[in-house]
């Protein structure tokens, strides 16, 4: 619990503080590794003369821990880690704010701990537990009551954790009980536009309380989530003197001065911020890099079709891991055009990746002979198309088993939305960087990458995605003269309809009013709903939007609801005997 000011009467008052902010990249469950990461930041903060180091949410155990945090042995190790870190603050003069799971009276909390002078000086439990989108903290944590500040060097610090900054009550309690400075520790995952949302909530808390605020967020990838850092400081006048660079693990010292109107940050730090496309690309890179590194894969292997999705996936992988850890495989069939083979080879060479050509014609013929008695008298259809895709998936998995590289899938959100993908075929693999990227954004990202070298990229500069890959009509090439738009509306229409259905949850009539044919909207809605069983079996992928498939959007597979079948989807007469 927070300590009262009276409990620290011996603490000396100070009119200056040096507070270090640490954007850390930690790993869920790796408590020992996370403690080493925190100690490295702490030692640097001490060397820089900091009075206090502030770390992100659940930095000791990693975020989000999901049900791992319910394991008693895990809880015990986390508590031991706090005690160990507290011991390292003895006689150092530098305090430490860390976040961890905390057990108290047989209850488990998400808590911030102030460590100083070799002791745990205060513990503040998170009050608002998010339970929407990707969050399900109410499943594993208890909610703590809003509490007063903790005292460090005579300064009353108002500590809050992530979602607590989204609401006014925690800040109100802190301000009413004498807090002088708000410190908010976050595990806030990235999605497009999230930076503005965070800043708006922070400004609201500063406006309501009249207090300055420190926002510290983690950076890194954890399964489907990516964290972009983007830590900042707001003064009481709502100015932002400090903004740390996004997408990099870093720390910085901020200088604070007490004046007649309270505390103010006197530092000026303006970190580099990415454009929207730049941030999306960074998210894909970081999500893939950390997934591969933290799960100890030597590299990735992917199928190169000569199309835009596999090209972008290969380039992102080369940028994230280095070209030497990316293996591209062309698997031509009788329907594969010469220009697709040329484009696939050109892209692999441009990004520096290794590549092989493994024709699938012998396997297709063997499957044809094997299944001929069972298919006798039936006309060829999508079954034969899917066999080709599944042979490619089998080939990639065989290479993965033999060499250890993870299979990188290449499907985009537009295709996954409507089921334009083959289960156990092109959906086969361990991770996807395009899972939450609509097709039109794929085109934009390819153009952007050809003109930019991303921050911390390990790939090559220049045109890494040949222009013909970007400009030619998309095709699965599973039958003669096949084009995506033979089966789907133009992507300009498809992506708009899907965004309305998925991210906005709009009614069919509203979507049609945007200029789409009602029958097209109905068809896309139907395809979206019946493809849920496929998506449930899809590999994880980087979350980019406000509503990614998976933990973000949880629809039932068996689902009889269809929007817009009259004034009521449910007719009471249907129940009449």
Q: Which residues are catalytic?
A: 57, 126, 162
| Structure tokens belonging to residue 328 | 């591209």
| Structure tokens belonging to residue 423 | 């289960």
Tell me the chain's radius of gyration from C-alpha atoms: 27
Interhelix angle 194-209/168-176, nearest 10 degrees: 30
In this structure, the chain runs to a length of 577
399 near 405, Cβ under 8 Å?
Answer: yes
| Structure tokens belonging to residue 573 | 């007469």
What are the distances in angstroms from CA 134 to CA 111, 142, 187, 452, 532? 20, 18, 12, 31, 18
40-49, long-range: CB < 8 A, 24+ apart: 41/251, 42/85, 42/88, 42/94, 42/96, 44/20, 44/251, 45/20, 45/94, 45/251, 45/253, 46/92, 46/93, 46/94, 48/18, 48/20, 48/253, 49/18, 49/253
Interhelix angle 439-451/308-321, nearest 10 degrees: 50
**CA 311/CA 242 separation, integer angstroms:** 38
Nearest to 460 by CA among 450, 468, 448, 469: 450
The phi, psi pair for 464, rounded to 5°, reads: -95, -15
What are the distances in angstroms from CA 429 to CA 43, 123, 489, 537, 540? 41, 43, 27, 11, 9
What are the distances in angstroms from CA 287 to CA 108, 201, 278, 389, 398? 29, 26, 14, 26, 25
User: In the block, which residue shows the tokens 């500069």?
Assistant: 461
430 near 313, Cβ under 8 Å?
Answer: no
149 near 157, Cβ under 8 Å?
Answer: yes
Cα 31–36–40 angle (5° rounding)? 145
**CA 198/CA 203 separation, integer angstroms:** 9
Q: What share of the chain is helix, strand, coil (3-state, %, to 5)?
A: 40, 20, 40
- Neighbouring CB atoms inside 10 A of 447's CB total 13
**CA 196/CA 276 separation, integer angstroms:** 12
DSSP string, 460-481: --S--S-HHHHHSPP---SSTT
**CA 501/CA 141 separation, integer angstroms:** 32
Burial class of residue 413 in the structure, from the number of CB atoms within 10 Å of its CB (0-12 exposed, 13-18 middle, 19+ buried): buried
CA dihedral 300→302→307→311, nearest 10 degrees, is 10
């Amino acid at each position: 619990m927070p300590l009262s000011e009276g409990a620290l009467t011996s603490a000396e008052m100070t009119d200056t503080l040096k507070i270090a902010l640490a954007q850390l990249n930690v790993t869920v469950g790796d408590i020992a590794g996370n403690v080493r990461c925190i100690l490295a930041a702490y030692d640097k903060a001490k060397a820089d003369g900091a009075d206090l180091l502030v770390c992100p949410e659940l930095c000791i155990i990693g975020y989000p821990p999901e049900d791992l945090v319910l394991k008693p042995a895990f809880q015990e190790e986390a508590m031991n880690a706090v005690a160990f870190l507290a011991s390292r603050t003895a006689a150092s003069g530098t305090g430490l704010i860390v976040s961890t799971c905390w057990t108290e009276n047989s209850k488990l909390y998400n808590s911030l701990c102030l460590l100083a002078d070799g002791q745990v000086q205060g513990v503040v439990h998170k009050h608002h537990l998010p339970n929407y989108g990707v969050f399900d903290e109410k499943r594993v944590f208890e909610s703590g009551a809003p509490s007063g500040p903790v005292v460090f060097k005579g300064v009353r610090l108002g500590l809050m954790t992530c979602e607590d900054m989204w609401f006014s009550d925690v800040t109100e309690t802190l301000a009413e009980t004498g807090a002088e400075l708000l410190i908010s520790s976050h595990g806030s995952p990235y999605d497009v536009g999230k930076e503005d949302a965070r800043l708006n909530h922070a400004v609201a808390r500063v406006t309501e309380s009249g207090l300055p605020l420190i926002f510290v967020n983690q950076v890194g990838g954890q399964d489907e989530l990516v964290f972009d850092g983007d830590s900042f400081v707001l003064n009481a006048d709502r100015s932002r003197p400090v903004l740390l660079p996004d997408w990099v693990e870093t720390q910085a010292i901020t200088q604070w001065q007490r004046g007649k109107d309270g505390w103010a940050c006197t530092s000026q730090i303006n970190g580099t911020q990415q454009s929207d496309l730049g941030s999306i690309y960074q998210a894909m890179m970081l999500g893939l890099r950390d997934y591969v590194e933290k799960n100890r894969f030597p590299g990735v292997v992917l199928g190169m079709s000569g199309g835009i999705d596999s090209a972008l996936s290969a380039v992102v992988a080369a940028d994230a891991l280095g070209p030497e850890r990316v293996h591209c495989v062309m698997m031509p069939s009788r329907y594969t055009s010469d220009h697709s083979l040329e484009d696939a080879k050109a892209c692999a060479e441009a990004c520096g990746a290794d590549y092989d050509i493994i024709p699938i014609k012998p396997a297709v013929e063997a499957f044809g002979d094997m299944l001929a008695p069972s298919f006798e008298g039936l006309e060829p259809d999508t079954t034969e198309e899917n066999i080709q895709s599944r042979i490619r998936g089998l080939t990639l998995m065989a290479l993965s088993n033999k060499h250890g590289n993870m299979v990188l899938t290449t499907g985009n959100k537009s295709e996954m939305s409507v089921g334009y993908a083959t289960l156990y075929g092109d959906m086969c693999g361990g991770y996807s960087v395009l899972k939450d990227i609509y097709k039109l954004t794929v085109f934009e990202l390819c153009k952007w990458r050809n003109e930019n070298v991303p921050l911390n990229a390990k790939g090559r500069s220049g045109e890494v995605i040949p222009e013909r890959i970007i400009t030619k009509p998309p095709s699965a090439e599973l039958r003669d003269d096949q084009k995506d738009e033979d089966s789907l509306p133009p992507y300009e229409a498809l992506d708009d309809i899907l965004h309305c259905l998925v991210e906005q949850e709009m009614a069919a009539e509203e979507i049609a009013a945007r200029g789409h044919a009602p029958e097209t909207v109905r068809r896309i809605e139907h395809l979206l709903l019946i493809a849920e069983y496929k998506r449930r079996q899809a590999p994880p992928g980087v979350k980019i939007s406000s509503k990614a498939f998976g933990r973000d959007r949880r629809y039932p597979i068996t689902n009889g609801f269809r929007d817009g079948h009259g004034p009521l989807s449910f007719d009471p007469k249907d129940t009449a005997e």
